[in-house]
Amino acid sequence: MFYVEENGRIFETATAGTHKILDAKKETGKIPDELVQMIVRELQANLFLCNSYEQRETAGAAMLISSRTILPKTDQSEKLALIPLFEQGIDLITNFDRVANFKWTNIAPLFHMYLESIPEDSPGATRFLVFLIRIFDVLNDSPNANEDLYSYNSALTIARVIHVTMDLIVNEKKDLHVRKLAVEVLYQMIRQCPQQKAPAVSLFVSGLLSKLVAFLKKDSNADLTKSCLNLFTDSITLVFADNSPKFDINQVKLEDFHPEMHCVFLNQTEKWRTEGADNIFEYINEILLRYMLHRVSSLRTASTNLVMNCQMMCPKFFGERMYIHLLFLYKQLRYDDFPEFQEIAVKALELIPNRRICMEYFYTQLDTHITKLPCQTRAFDGGPEIDIISALLTGIGEGVKLMCTTGSETIERLLRSLADSVVINPKGIMITSGIEAETPEQAIRKMKLMHDISHSQIQRLCEILAKLGGVEIIDMVHNLMRAETAGKQASYHIILGYLLSALDAFTTLPDDPIILMLAEYLVKETNRLCVVSAMDDSKPTQHQMEIDWDTCVESLSLTNVALCMKFIGRTDKRSQISISCLCTLLMQTTSVSWIVRDSAYFALKLLADQDQCCENVIDLVHHYDSHILHVVSMACSSMTNYLMGPILLKGYLKHADVMMQFDATRIIVEKLLYALDMNNQEYCYSIVLAISLFMDLLVKVHPNLQPLPPPEDSEDDKPLPTPQHIITENILKRTKHLLTSDHLAIQVTVLRMISYGLILLKNYDDMLLPMIHQHWFGIMVHVRAVNPVTLPWCIDVIVDMADFSGSFVHNKVLKEFWPCVEDYFLQLIRRFDKYEHSLDYANVTKIISVAPHLVTWAGLTEQEAKDSILKVLEAAIEKTNGPFVFYAKVQQKLVDKFYNQNIRVERNFPERDGF
Q: In whole angstroms, what is the distance from residue 336 CA to residue 489 CA?
A: 30
pLDDT of residue 214: 94
The answer to whether residue 215 is domain-embedded is: yes
| Least confident window among 121-135, 293-307, 434-448 | 434-448
Residue 318: phi, psi to the nearest 5? -90, -20
Residue 572 has pLDDT above 60, yes or no: no
% pLDDT > 90, the chain: 47
Same domain, 170 and 87: no
Instruction: Check if the beta carbon of residue 225 is closer than 8 Å to that of residue 299.
Output: yes
Instruction: Check if the beta carbon of residue 820 is closer than 8 Å to that of residue 776.
Output: no
Same domain, 56 and 148: no
pLDDT of residue 855: 86
Instruction: Check if the beta carbon of residue 668 is closer than 8 Å to that of residue 690.
Output: no
Find how far residue 568's CA is from the centre of its chain. 30
Residue 902 has pLDDT above 80, yes or no: no
The answer to whether residue 890 is domain-embedded is: yes
Judged by DSSP in three states, 544 sits in coil
CA atoms within 13 A on the CB side of 3: 3
Residue of higher predicted confidence among 681 and 37 = 37
SS3 for 265-298, per residue? HHCCCHHHHHHHHHHHHHHHHHHHHHHCCCCCHH
- For 612-626, what is each residue's pLDDT tens digit? 778 888 888 888 888
Residue 115 has pLDDT above 80, yes or no: yes
Same domain, 106 and 237: yes
Instruction: Check if the beta carbon of residue 132 is closer than 8 Å to that of residue 114.
Output: yes
Residue 424 forms beta bridges with which residues? 449
Nearest to 478 by CA among 511, 441, 516, 509: 516
Q: What letter would DSSP give residue 708? A: B
Judged by DSSP in three states, 553 sits in helix
- For 27-66, what is each residue's pLDDT tens digit? 888 888 888 888 888 887 776 666 577 777 788 888 888 8
Residue 2 has pLDDT above 80, yes or no: no
For residue 632, CA distances in Å to 580, 642, 664, 692 come to 11, 9, 10, 16
Q: What letter would DSSP give residue 576? A: H
Nearest to 453 by CA among 415, 413, 418, 487: 418
Q: Where among 186, 214, 241 does a domain terminate?
A: 241
Rounded to two decimals, the pTM is 0.82
For 801-822, give the DSSP string: HHHHHGGGGHHIIIIIIHHHHH
For residue 838, CA distances in Å to 244, 665, 788, 841 come to 92, 40, 9, 6
pLDDT of residue 358: 95
What's the mean pLDDT in 562-580?
A: 75
Same domain, 191 and 71: no
- For 325-346, what is each residue's pLDDT tens digit? 999 999 999 999 999 999 999 9
Same domain, 156 and 178: yes
| Least confident window among 121-125, 620-624, 726-730 | 620-624
Q: In whole angstroms, what is the distance from residue 571 CA to residue 542 CA?
A: 39
With bands split at pLDDT 50, 70 and 90, how would you rate the model's confidence at 503? very high
The answer to whether residue 430 is domain-embedded is: no
pLDDT of residue 864: 87
Residue 779 has pLDDT above 50, yes or no: yes
With bands split at pLDDT 50, 70 and 90, how would you rate the model's confidence at 167? very high
The answer to whether residue 745 is domain-embedded is: no
Q: In whole angstroms, what is the distance from residue 449 CA to residue 383 CA?
A: 12
Instruction: Give the mean pLDDT of the chain.
Output: 87
| Least confident window among 112-116, 675-679, 797-801, 827-831 | 827-831
With bands split at pLDDT 50, 70 and 90, how would you rate the model's confidence at 437? confident
With bands split at pLDDT 50, 70 and 90, how would you rate the model's confidence at 5? very low
Residue 73 has pLDDT above 90, yes or no: no
CA atoms within 13 A on the CB side of 852: 23
Burial of residue 837, with CB atoms counted within 10 A of its CB: 0-12 exposed, 13-18 middle, 19 or more buried? exposed
Listed in sequence order, the residues at least 6 apart from 320 whose beta carbon sits closer than 8 Å to its beta carbon are: 354, 357
Residue 87 has pLDDT above 80, yes or no: yes
pLDDT of residue 236: 94
Same domain, 210 and 118: yes
What's the mean pLDDT in 461-488?
A: 94
The answer to whether residue 122 is domain-embedded is: yes
CA atoms within 13 A on the CB side of 608: 19
What's the mean pLDDT in 785-806?
A: 91
With bands split at pLDDT 50, 70 and 90, how would you rate the model's confidence at 4? very low
What's the mean pLDDT in 424-451?
A: 84
Find how far residue 463's CA is from the centre of its chain. 15
Same domain, 106 and 224: yes
Same domain, 218 and 233: yes
Same domain, 86 and 122: no
CA atoms within 13 A on the CB side of 808: 19
The answer to whether residue 18 is domain-embedded is: yes
| Least confident window among 68-82, 354-368, 548-562 | 68-82
**Rg of the chain over CA atoms, in angstroms?**
47
pLDDT of residue 3: 37
Q: Where among 222, 241, 260 does a domain terminate?
A: 241
Domain that holds residue 53: 1-94
For 721-736, give the DSSP string: --HHHHHHHHHHHHHG
Same domain, 104 and 234: yes
Find how far residue 50's CA is from the centre of its chain. 70
The tally of domains found in the chain comes to 3
> 28-37 long-range contacts, Cβ below 8 Å, gap at least 24?
30/78, 31/70, 31/74, 31/78, 31/81, 31/82, 32/81, 33/81, 36/81, 36/82, 36/84, 36/85, 37/84
Listed in sequence order, the residues at least 6 apart from 600 whose beta carbon sits closer than 8 Å to its beta carbon are: 558, 585, 586, 587, 588, 589, 591
Q: What letter would DSSP give residue 647? A: H
Q: In whole angstroms, what is the distance from residue 496 CA to residue 557 CA?
A: 9
Element (H, E) at 478: helix 471-481
pLDDT of residue 658: 86
**Residue 259: other Cβ atoms inside 10 A:** 8
With bands split at pLDDT 50, 70 and 90, how would you rate the model's confidence at 532? low
With bands split at pLDDT 50, 70 and 90, how would you rate the model's confidence at 573? very low
The answer to whether residue 268 is domain-embedded is: no
Residue of higher predicted confidence among 873 and 52 = 873
Q: Where among 94, 114, 133 does a domain terminate?
A: 94
Same domain, 40 and 88: yes
The answer to whether residue 499 is domain-embedded is: no
CATH number of the domain bearing residue 161: 1.25.10
- For 138-166, what is each residue's pLDDT tens digit? 999 888 888 888 988 888 899 999 999 99
Residue 542 has pLDDT above 60, yes or no: no
- For 351-362, what is each residue's pLDDT tens digit? 999 999 999 999
% pLDDT > 70, the chain: 93
pLDDT of residue 534: 59
With bands split at pLDDT 50, 70 and 90, how would you rate the model's confidence at 257? confident
pLDDT of residue 539: 58
Same domain, 39 and 144: no
